[in-house]
């Protein structure tokens, strides 16, 4: 009996020592020892990421990316843009081919951004979409800025704002009103966005008032005040640009984190519509993360070249074909940059999803006025191009009355086809005016 107890004690002691030995050699933290994630070579991790396990393959990703929409038929204009530019074809053809090439490219840019944001979470997705949502306008603006075409920069930015809040919103309300008697949306959130648009509009009025009514502002150092603004006007514009970037960051936080409930469809709507809206917000993963990132980079590079061809051909095209440069900047260029958003916004309104329509139209305008324009002013400051927030008085007044009308129409939280017709009428009147400016 004693022998059995002694044998049992020896086995227990041996087991304890074995356990202690194994525990002492075990890592304190998970994946912190000789086996685990840290021991995987960097090249292996890169290969695993590029393979995209449990994601669509590269072949499936690019098949969807290239053949996912009929609009990609217009990609034929991309090689035509490069060929016409390199072979010095007629400048009108260069402008037309580059113009048409950017339309499908902007759609692909938005698609790649949506697919890349699927796995990044709500906050990062919002930041990514905010960064690339107006990438076409930023590329065109930077290209024109580096070429010294400051008026094209200013008119295209004003045109992008007007296009979103008048043309796109008007078409959406009109199309939605033909399918539904009345559309509902959260008036509180819409009014918050519209109020911010009003603030941005006022910040554009201040430089115009300074340049038009004060003695220091009216001092001219050359025949074209746009190319040699006064020191005071530059100071006001650059200081305002920095402040607007801060306001935009606060707006993103307000929309995504602190007050997201203000941008949700009101409970008075049909519950089926609310469920359908929430389902629509989620993008179906059709591309791998790595494939979407590569596609985003490639499309951005191609857009940059096409934008260069487009901008460099504007001057001669306007002179040869008697097209006002202001009309090109305010009306034509924004249609190119916002082509994808136009179709999406109208389609959402036709499906009675006005919350998304308001988010696309007004939100995109806020991005232009509060992010893109200040960013271009600061880039101009860096590259020694005197871009200011002083838009001509006519453009400032047009922007102000447009924002005023949109504020009135969004106040009640309801939309119908007559309101869409009002917005479209004002946009057409503005287009006629810029044709003869």
Q: Which helix H or strand E contains 414, and what residues bound it?
A: strand 414-415
Quote the tokens at residue 172.
């959406």
- What pTM was computed for the model? 0.75
Amino acid 125: pLDDT: 55
Angle between helices 77-86 and 91-116 (to 10 degrees): 140
CA distance linking residue 425 with residue 366, whole number of Å: 22
- For 415, the enclosing helix (H) or strand (E) is strand 414-415
Give mean pLDDT in consecutive 10-residue pieces for the chain, a chain of 437 residues.
Answer: 51 50 44 47 53 71 83 90 90 89 84 74 55 77 88 90 91 88 79 85 90 78 69 92 92 79 56 44 71 85 88 86 88 78 77 81 87 92 91 90 91 88 94 90
Query: Across 141-205, where does the E strand assignment appear?
Result: 183-184
Tokens standing for 23?
A: 């525990």
Cα 53 from chain centre: 29
Give me the pLDDT at residue 180, please: 83
Report pLDDT for 35: 45
31 — alpha (psi -120 to 50), left (phi > 0) or beta? left
> What is the model's pLDDT at position 290?
82
CA distance linking residue 239 with residue 235, whole number of Å:
6
Task: Please report, to the nearest 10 degrees, the dihedral formed by the alpha carbons of residues 28, 29, 32, 35 taken in order.
Answer: 80
Q: State residue 36's pLDDT score.
A: 45
The CATH architecture of the domain made up of 59-435 is: Up-down Bundle (1.20)
Q: Where are the beta strands (DSSP E) in 166-207?
A: 183-184
């Amino acid at each position: 009996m004693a022998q059995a107890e002694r044998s049992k004690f020896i086995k227990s002691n041996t087991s304890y020592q074995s356990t202690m030995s194994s525990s002492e050699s075990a890592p304190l933290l998970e994946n912190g020892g000789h086996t685990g994630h840290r021991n995987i070579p960097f090249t292996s991790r890169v290969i695993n990421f590029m393979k995209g396990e449990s994601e669509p393959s590269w072949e499936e990703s690019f098949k969807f990316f290239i053949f996912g929409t009929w609009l990609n038929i217009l990609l034929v204009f991309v090689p035509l843009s490069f060929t016409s530019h390199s072979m010095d074809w007629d400048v009108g053809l260069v402008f037309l081919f580059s113009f048409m090439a950017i339309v499908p490219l902007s759609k692909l840019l938005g698609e790649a951004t949506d697919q890349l944001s699927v796995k990044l979470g709500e906050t990062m997705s919002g930041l990514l979409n905010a960064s690339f949502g107006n990438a076409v306008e930023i590329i065109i603006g930077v290209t024109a800025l580096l070429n010294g075409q400051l008026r094209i920069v200013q008119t295209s930015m004003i045109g992008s704002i007007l296009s979103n809040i008048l043309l796109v919103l008007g078409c959406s309300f009109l199309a939605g009103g033909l399918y539904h008697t009345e559309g509902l949306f959260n008036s509180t959130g819409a009014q918050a966005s519209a109020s911010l648009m009003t603030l941005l509009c006022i910040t554009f009025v201040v430089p115009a008032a300074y340049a038009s009514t004060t003695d220091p502002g009216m001092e001219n150092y050359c025949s074209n005040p746009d190319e040699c603004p006064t020191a005071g006007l530059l100071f006001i514009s650059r200081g305002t640009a920095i402040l607007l970037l801060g306001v935009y960051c606060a707006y993103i936080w307000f929309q995504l984190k602190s007050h997201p409930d203000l941008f949700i469809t009101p409970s008075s709507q049909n519950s089926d519509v609310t469920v359908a809206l929430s389902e629509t917000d989620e993008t179906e993963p059709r591309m791998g993360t790595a494939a979407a990132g590569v596609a985003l980079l490639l499309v951005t590079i191609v857009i940059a070249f096409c934008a260069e061809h487009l901008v460099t051909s504007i001057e001669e095209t306007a002179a040869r074909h008697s097209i006002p440069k202001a009309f090109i900047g305010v009306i034509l260029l924004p249609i190119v940059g916002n082509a994808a958003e136009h179709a999406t916004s109208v389609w959402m309104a036709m499906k009675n999803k006005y919350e998304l329509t308001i988010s696309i139209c007004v939100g995109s305008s806020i991005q232009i006025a509060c992010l893109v324009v200040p960013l271009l002013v600061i880039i101009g400051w860096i590259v020694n191009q005197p871009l200011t927030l002083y838009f001509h008085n006519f453009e400032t007044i047009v922007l102000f009355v447009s924002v005023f009308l949109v504020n009135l129409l969004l106040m009640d939280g309801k939309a119908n086809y007559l309101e869409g017709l009002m917005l479209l009428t004002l946009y057409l009147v503005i287009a006629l005016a810029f044709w003869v400016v």
